[in-house]
Structure 1
Amino acid sequence: MSSAVSLTAIPGVPDIRNGDDLSAILGDCLDRAGMPLKRGDILCVAQKVFSKAEGCIIPLASVTPSAEALKYAEELNKDPRKVEIVLRESTRVVRAFRRPDQNEGTMICEHRLGFISANAAVDESNFGEEDAAMVLPPDPDASCARLQRDLSHRFDAEIGVVMTDTFGRPWRLGQVNVAIGLSKVPATIREQGNTDAWGRPLQVTEPALADEIAAASGLVVRKNGKTPAVLLRGLDWQPADSRGADILRKKQEDMFR
């Protein structure tokens, strides 16, 4: 692995709208900033800009809550229209709860893409619209692949792309960026069969490379800074046919179900 990497938030990214060409917009921003992409660069891009470009914003006025949504909404003191969107994005509700000190409860759900997250990653903040909710793109890997292909062609350099989103972690406070979509970037690095510094064989070590990259990108991003894209440079990695789902643990390995 590399001994040094750099992380740079790409400046000047405008507000993204439905139908925008992300490849052209981000490529222009890189050119204006004097940051042409090089072979081996990895671009980390926030899910929100993909969702906005792909029209993944749902006006709450267009949503009719189901009986199940109304039930959860009453129990959790949540807007039933938002609950309905959460249910539509989910394959199951893992747990729903409201603590005495909470004004609004939380739904921990398995998203249709397989991720376990609060409210199935449905968001109402930081995308510039009122009375609406944002959902994840239908196929984050395909979105990353289009961006990777277009920018690699534009700059004549094979790069990687990671789509990031902010998740909490079980039994740990706060949130970190994680990878929910990939193009060319390995999801994990299998160290099994290698040895440690003392020559002992590694049996279970498998760094979550994509999540490490996503989390690192969060160090130079601010929620109010309008810096949804980060350039990571200097990492030693090999392109792979990878998907965001490759980082999900198999259900038969889940010890908490």
Structure 2
Amino acid sequence: MAQALSFTAVAGIPAVAPGDDLPALIAAALAQSGSTLTEGDALVVAQKIVSKSEGRFIDLRTVTPSARALELAAITRKDARLVELVLSESNEVLRAVPHVLIVRHRLGYVMANAGIDRSNVDSRDGAERALLLPVDPDTSAARLRAGLRTLTGVAPGVIVSDSFGRPWRNGVINIALGAAGLPALIDRRGETDLYGRRLEVTQVAWADGLAAGAALVMGEGAEGTPVALVRGARHDAPEVNAQALVRPIAEDLFR
């Protein structure tokens, strides 16, 4: 485990548009801030700028709500067009009450509104844009890592993060949607505790922990710092991507 861990917001990331070279933008911001990537570093990158660079925008004016979307919109008091997008990105609706729509996203996440968001999305040209999650956040993380290796000579761990609510807890916390070059989940079953007892169920959500720490310097609103440099987060566990963090439906204890 790391002995000294630091989180530093990377300033200077410009507004991101579809098709932008995100590794180049991040590398330039790092250089401008005087930071140099070193082996063992990791970067936590907000899902929003990843989705923007991948063109995951939908103009709500182009969306026609289905009967199911209209039904759920009446229950949740949400825009029926937005509900239609949520349905298109989801495998199952788990809960629909006023102002709340919880679904199982097509990638397995249980989340509000399938992660679709309109905050910090520019619609000043009259469009009514909503932003979807990346098609495959693990692949997005791997692409970012490869691009940074090409540009800097160092391949950092990369986490694509998003803010999540949690059952029975108020507030949101950053978690890892995608990861590359680090152990997203560390299995400690079979090890022993301080008193020699065998650990039976302990698995550490390593990437979620790093994403949560990074959120403290990245912010959640108008801070404009969607990337954080994590230093000192070394671990010798096998690399595994963020899909390992998604609990299988067969183990869903709330169904």
TM-score, normalised to structure 2, is 0.95
The one-letter amino acid paired with 2:133 is: L
The corresponding residue for 2:172 is: 175
Which residue identity is paired with 2:115?
A: A
How do residues 171-210 of structure 1 correspond to structure 2 at under 5 angstroms? 171-210=168-207
The Cα offsets for residues 88-129 of structure 1, whole Å up to 9 and x where unpaired, read as: 01101011011xxxxxx2110000111000011111111222
Please state whether the residue corresponding to 1:200 is helix, strand or coil: coil
Contact 1:188–1:209 (CA under 8 A) maintained in structure 2: yes
Identity over the aligned pairs, expressed in percent?
A: 44
Match of 1:128 among 97, 122, 125: 122
Stretch of structure 1 that moved more, 4-13 or 70-79: 70-79
Q: CA offsets per residue over residues 30-51 of structure 1, 9 Å max, x none?
A: 1111111100100000000011
- Quote the Cα distance in structure 2 between the aligned partners of 1:248 and 1:76: 26
The answer for the alignment partner of 1:22 in structure 2 is: 22
Deviation at 1:158, TM superposition (A): 3.0
Question: Is the 2:185–2:240 Cα contact (8 Å) retained in structure 1?
Answer: no
Cα deviation digits, residues 197-252 of structure 1 (max 9, x gap): 22222111111101001111111012211000000001122374422211011211
Matched positions, count: 251
Partner of 1:242: 240
Any gaps of 5 or more consecutive residues in structure 2? none
| Partner Cα distance (2:75, 2:192) in 1 | 52
Give the Cα–Cα distance (whole angstroms) in 2 for the partners of residues 78 and 36 of structure 1.
45
Moved more, 66-75 or 191-200: 191-200
Secondary structure of the 2:158 match is: strand
2:113 equivalent in structure 1: 119
TM-score by length of 1: 0.94
Listed as ranges, the matches of 1:76-155 within 5 Å are 76-98=76-98, 105-129=99-123, 131-155=128-152
Is the contact between residue 185 and residue 242 of structure 2 (CA under 8 Å) also seen in structure 1?
no
Paired with 1:135 and 1:21, the residues of 2 have a C-alpha distance of 19
Equivalent residue letter for 2:19: G
Matches within 5 A, 1:209-248: 209-222=206-219, 223-238=221-236, 240-248=238-246
The SS at the match of 1:196 is: coil
For residues 191 and 246 of structure 1, the distance between their equivalents in structure 2, rounded to whole angstroms, comes to 14
Distance, in Å, in 1 between the alignment partners of 2:104 and 2:251 is: 16
**One-letter amino acid matched to 1:77:** R
**Where does structure 1 differ by over 6 angstroms across 4 or more consecutive aligned residues?**
none
Helix, strand or coil at the partner of 1:107: strand
Task: Out of 19-28 and 201-210, give the one that drifted further.
Answer: 201-210
Instruction: Give the Cα–Cα distance (whole angstroms) in 2 for the partners of residues 248 and 8 of structure 1.
Output: 27
How far apart, in 1, do the equivalents of 2:222 and 2:237 lie?
33
Q: Once structures 1 and 2 are overlaid, which stretch shifts more, 67-76 or 16-25?
A: 67-76
CA distance change for structure 1 residues 158 and 240 in 2, over 3 Å: closer, same or farther? farther
